[in-house]
Amino acid sequence: MPARFLTSAADAKGFPEDSGAELAVVGRSNSGKSSAINRIVGQTKLARVSKTPGRTQLINFFELGEGRRLVDLPGYGFARVPEEQRQDWRRLTGEYFESRRSLKGLLVTVDIRRGLLDLDQAMLDWAAGLALPVMILLTKSDKLSRAAGATALQALRRDLRDGVTAELFSALDDTGVDRVRSQVEAWIGGSLPK
Ligand SMILES: Nc1nc2c(ncn2[C@@H]2O[C@H](COP(=O)(O)OP(=O)(O)O)[C@@H](O)[C@H]2O)c(=O)[nH]1
Ligand SMILES: [Mg+2]
């Protein structure tokens, strides 16, 4: 079964039934989250890839198979966002993290050229508090040489707590795609669409 769009939610009332298993994807605006989602599910246009980030404050649910979902959380860290929208983000994301029993793991997209910033660290702390396993995708790894990418990955891995892993990732040259897909399958069971 190909992955398909299920629903968008602006609050907890719009979430689909909390059964089965799902993983969530989150990251800074423009960090390559939508591109990663498309690559992971093997479709080019499931999640929109945007050059003007920061607008959507919706949680998008995609179905990957019977009772298995991928959840696209709104991005954070877009500079020109009013305080009101930041609060919306915290409320919506908080309602999601604090209610979803079917949530099995979190992918965090981090642009390899920027590295882990404060808001990424806050997200990792939040996940730690919920005992939620995390895989960090160091995205756009094609922008660095192989050696520079390996160095960045090693440096990041040194500081990670238990339950957090990291991989190089590129939606452009497919670096890391197989590993991420395996992790997703381990979290939610079944096999991903090709
Ligand atoms: N070179 C390169 N560019 C990428 C990659 N992934 C995303 N991008 C570009 O980064 C920008 C933001 O990507 P997008 O997936 O929309 O990020 P999002 O805002 O986090 O969902 C777009 O211009 C993408 O084409 C990648 O793996 N390699
Ligand atoms: Mg996006």
Summarize pLDDT for 18-67 with one digit per residue, the tens.
Answer: 999 999 999 999 999 999 999 999 887 888 776 555 565 899 999 999 99
Mean pLDDT of 77-88: 84
Pairing of strands 59-65, 103-111: unpaired
pLDDT at 152 over 70: yes
Task: Give residue 50's pLDDT.
Answer: 65
pLDDT at 141 over 90: yes
Q: Ligand 1 atom closest to Cα of 109?
A: 20
Please report which confidence band the pLDDT of residue 129 belongs to, taking 50, 70 and 90 as the band edges: very high
What's the rounded Cα separation, in Å, for the pair 100 and 180?
22
Which of 70-84, 88-102, 156-170 is least confident? 70-84
Beta bridge partners of 65: 68
> Which residue, chain included where needed, has tokens 């604090």?
98
> Which residue, chain included where needed, has tokens 């860290």?
77
Q: For a pLDDT cut of 70, what percent of the chain falls above it?
A: 96
Task: Give residue 12's pLDDT.
Answer: 96
Q: What's the whole-model pTM score? A: 0.96
Residue 143 CB less than 6 A away from ligand 1: yes
Near ion ligand 2, which residues have CB within 5 Å?
34
Residue whose CB lies within 8 A of the most ligand 1 atoms, among 34, 37, 49, for a mutation test: 49
